């Protein structure tokens, strides 16, 4: 079975969690978390790196021991260390880690002190008011655990876009090689670039009597076949994602693609327009009576009902049809529109590569400029820079810029926004930078008014340029902190600063709805990778997908400007 980066991530994260539950050495635990983080940012499949003889120890945070385990996972599909840990700690205990707010330390406490091994046992312990008796828990924590379990139990599992892409794109490549197959598209919420994906919908155009269905259900990564017929099949992949395949004739492909891309609300609205025109739309085409008048392409379907083509990212029935009818659909931003990236780290703090390596990697992705924005001193755990070390790096950047060709490094900082809204470094230092990226890394639980005031105060600072990951969310791990985003957008407009759309797949922060709000208010969004290694620039595609869902056009995105156009915008106080 092919091994994807997501499989390696899952194994390393589980090893780290089980080690923490056991009370293992913190440095050993962190090594596995860091290795998982490396693979979450890796654009290339580790299996291909091994196949091509690449030295895995060149990857950030990967030593000989971890490299050996990676090769073991790729060759066998499992890890002996994890197998051993499963014998020492009941496997069900790891299910407790899926409850929001219940990390390894708390799982360790309920496991050792209350012999809680399953989610059901945890629920009973909380219901019976036994959890509040544990040190560091209390009545409020007990209530939060009860609520989190109830929410968790009612939710259908969803997968981050980056994880789904590894399985979807691999399967798409496999299907495209089958004789008789003309086209393969991954449709559904994946094609609409939703932040998370519940399942995969794959559409194939193929010649009659092709072997697509058979080849699909015997695919190496299929765990269970739910159904199989002449033109459709449904399976569960070994990673847990349900994947549905539909095979159609070439003259039905456009209509089927529109239908299976969705959203449901968009499709209903399209059908209503057709009905008013005396037409019928379904997955087989658009019909006048029994005569099919369109269906080969999506464009032909839209054209038949008097609309221009609507990009998949906009198909949520959030006004796109009215705008299409009025001829006012946005020309959405493209990945190739990006000229630079204004948020990146090196090994001077928690990054894994040098200034030169990051510059060359950005250049190879077609970027013309890159801002180096290390963490500030408040984040001691990642070796945040104090004034003297930051100024030293500025000198290094100036020197390197005399040697680089085709790309320019900008001097910056990702400065902590303190609880009172002050910035973590003095003005005398901030004034010497090209860009100041403000970020919240603590006190996520402040009230709405306090959190909003904190950010507004920071944005008033004369050297503040850009608000990083504005809601602080980590998809599936941490909810956004509570802020009045409209007030923040208004402040950004008043003080001529900008909001980031952080492209890391764990964040995709700013939300698409907030992107639309910023666009309406004339506030520019900056699509940044938040790169911590040379591999991370590949994540910009996910940020662009989120920007497109937020209706952003090239002119709405700060870093589509050339460096000459950018400088006056980011240096308004210099």
Domain ranges of the chain: 5-154, 160-325, 335-570
pLDDT of amino acid 138: 87
pLDDT tier for residue 116 given thresholds of 50, 70 and 90? confident
> Rounded to a whole number, what is the largest CA-CA distance in the chain?
77
Compute the distance between CA of residue 546 and CA of residue 473 in angstroms, rounded to an integer. Answer: 15
User: Average pLDDT in the 322-351 region?
Assistant: 96
pLDDT tier for residue 91 given thresholds of 50, 70 and 90? low
Least confident of 90-99, 399-408, 459-468, 494-503: 90-99
pLDDT of amino acid 209: 81
- For domain 5-154, give the CATH number: 1.10.150.110
Question: 281, 271 in Cβ contact below 8 A?
Answer: yes
The rounded percent of the chain whose pLDDT value lies above 70 is: 98
470: helix, coil or strand?
coil
pLDDT of amino acid 441: 94
pLDDT tier for residue 325 given thresholds of 50, 70 and 90? very high
Compute the distance between CA of residue 458 and CA of residue 419 in angstroms, rounded to an integer. Answer: 10
**Mean pLDDT, the chain, integer:** 92
pLDDT at 479 over 80: yes
Compute the distance between CA of residue 8 and CA of residue 15 in angstroms, rounded to an integer. Answer: 11
pLDDT of amino acid 336: 98
Question: 314, 193 in Cβ contact below 8 A?
Answer: no
DSSP state of 100: T
Instruction: List Cβ neighbours of 118 (8 Å cut-off, separation of 6 or more).
Output: 92, 93, 95, 96
Return the H-helix or E-strand segment holding 92. none
Q: What is the pTM of this model?
A: 0.82
pLDDT tier for residue 155 given thresholds of 50, 70 and 90? low
Task: From 41, 8, 3, select the one nearest 538 (Cα to Cα).
Answer: 41
Least confident of 40-49, 319-328, 497-506: 40-49
Q: How far is CA 65 from CA 57, 79, 489, in A?
A: 9, 12, 48
pLDDT at 574 over 70: no
- Please give the backbone phi and psi of residue 466, each rounded to the nearest 5 degrees, phi first: -145, 135
pLDDT of amino acid 510: 95
Give the CATH class of 160-325: alpha beta
In which order are the strands placed within the sheet that holds 232-237? 181-186, 199-206, 242-248, 232-237, 222-228
Compute the distance between CA of residue 502 and CA of residue 546 in angstroms, rounded to an integer. Answer: 10
pLDDT tier for residue 38 given thresholds of 50, 70 and 90? confident
Question: pLDDT higher for 126 or 404?
Answer: 404
Tokens for 346, please give them.
């090196």
Compute the distance between CA of residue 244 and CA of residue 234 in angstroms, rounded to an integer. Answer: 4
∠ Cα 509 511 517 (to 5°): 125
DSSP state of 221: T
381: helix, coil or strand?
helix
pLDDT at 571 over 80: yes
pLDDT tier for residue 1 given thresholds of 50, 70 and 90? low
553: helix, coil or strand?
strand
Peptide bond into 263 cis (omega under 30): yes
Question: 260, 272 in Cβ contact below 8 A?
Answer: no
The rounded percent of the chain whose pLDDT value lies above 90 is: 72
Instruction: List Cβ neighbours of 346 (8 Å cut-off, separation of 6 or more).
Output: 353, 354, 355, 358, 372, 374
User: Average pLDDT in the 3-31 region?
Assistant: 89
Dihedral angle computed from the Cα positions of residues 349, 352, 356 and 360, in that order, rounded to the nearest 10 degrees: -130
pLDDT of amino acid 61: 86
Task: From 346, 337, 331, 393, select the one nearest 367 (Cα to Cα).
Answer: 337
Task: Give the relative orientation of helices 104-114 and 119-127 as an angle to the nearest 10 degrees.
Answer: 70
Task: From 481, 478, 497, 480, select the one nearest 489 (Cα to Cα).
Answer: 497
Whether domain 335-570 has CATH 3.90.1150.10: no
pLDDT tier for residue 380 given thresholds of 50, 70 and 90? low
Compute the distance between CA of residue 289 and CA of residue 237 in angstroms, rounded to an integer. Answer: 40
């Amino acid at each position: 079975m092919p091994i994807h980066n997501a499989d390696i991530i899952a194994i390393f994260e589980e090893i780290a969690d089980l080690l923490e539950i056991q009370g293992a050495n913190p440095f050993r635990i962190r090594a596995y978390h860091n290795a998982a983080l490396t693979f979450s940012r890796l654009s290339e499949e580790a299996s291909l790196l091994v196949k091509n003889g690449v030295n895995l120890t060149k990857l950030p945070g990967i030593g000989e021991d971890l490299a050996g385990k990676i090769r073991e996972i790729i060759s066998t599909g499992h890890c002996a260390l994890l197998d051993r840990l499963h014998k020492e700690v009941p496997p069900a205990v790891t299910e407790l880690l899926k409850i929001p707010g219940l990390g390894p330390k708390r799982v360790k406490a309920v496991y050792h002190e209350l012999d809680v091994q399953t989610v059901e046992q945890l629920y009973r312990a909380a219901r019976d008011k036994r959890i509040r008796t544990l040190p560091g828990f209390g009545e409020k924590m007990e209530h939060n655990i009860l609520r989190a379990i109830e929410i968790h139990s009612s939710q259908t599992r969803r997968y981050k876009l980056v994880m789904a892409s590894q399985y979807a794109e691999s399967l798409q490549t496999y299907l495209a090689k089958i004789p008789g197959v003309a086209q393969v598209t991954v449709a559904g919420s994946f094609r609409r670039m939703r932040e998370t994906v519940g399942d995969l919908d794959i559409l194939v155009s193929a010649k009659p009597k092709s072997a697509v269905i058979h080849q699909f259900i015997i695919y190496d990564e299929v765990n269970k076949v739910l159904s199989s017929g002449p033109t459709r099949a449904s399976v569960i992949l070994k990673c847990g994602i349900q994947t549905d395949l539909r095979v159609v004739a070439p003259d039905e492909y456009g209509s089927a693609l529109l239908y299976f891309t969705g959203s449901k609300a968009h499709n209903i609205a399209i059908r209503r327009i057709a009905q008013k025109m005396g037409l019928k739309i379904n997955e087989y085409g658009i019909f006048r009576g029994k005569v099919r008048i369109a269906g080969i392409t999506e464009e032909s379907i839209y054209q038949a009902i008097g609309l221009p083509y609507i990009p998949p990212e906009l198909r949520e029935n959030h006004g796109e049809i009215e705008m299409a009818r009025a001829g006012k659909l946005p020309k959405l931003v493209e990945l190739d529109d990006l000229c630079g990236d204004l948020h990146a780290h090196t090994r001077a703090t928690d990054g894994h590569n040098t200034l030169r390596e990051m510059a060359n990697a950005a250049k190879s992705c077609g970027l013309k400029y890159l801002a180096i924005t290390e963490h500030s001193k408040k984040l001691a755990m990642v070796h945040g820079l104090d004034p003297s070390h930051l100024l030293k790096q500025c000198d290094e950047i100036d020197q390197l810029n005399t040697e680089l060709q085709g790309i320019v490094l900008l001097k910056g900082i990702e400065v902590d926004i303190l609880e009172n809204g002050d910035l973590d470094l003095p003005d005398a230092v901030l004034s010497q930078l090209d860009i100041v990226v403000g970020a919240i890394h603590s006190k996520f639980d402040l009230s709405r008014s306090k959190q909003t005031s904190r950010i507004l105060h920071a944005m008033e600072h004369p050297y503040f340029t850009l608000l990083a990951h504005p809601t602080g969310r980590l998809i599936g791990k941490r909810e956004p902190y509570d802020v009045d985003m409209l007030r923040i957008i208004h402040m950004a407009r008043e003080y001529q600063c900008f909001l980031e759309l952080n492209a890391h797949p764990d964040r995709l922060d700013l939300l698409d709805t907030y992107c639309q709000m910023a666009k309406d208010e004339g506030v520019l969004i900056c699509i940044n990778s938040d790169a911590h290694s040379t591999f991370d620039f590949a994540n910009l595609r996910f940020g662009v997908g989120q920007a497109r869902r937020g209706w952003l056009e090239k002119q709405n995105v700060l870093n589509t400007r050339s460096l000459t156009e950018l400088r006056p915008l980011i240096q308004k106080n210099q």
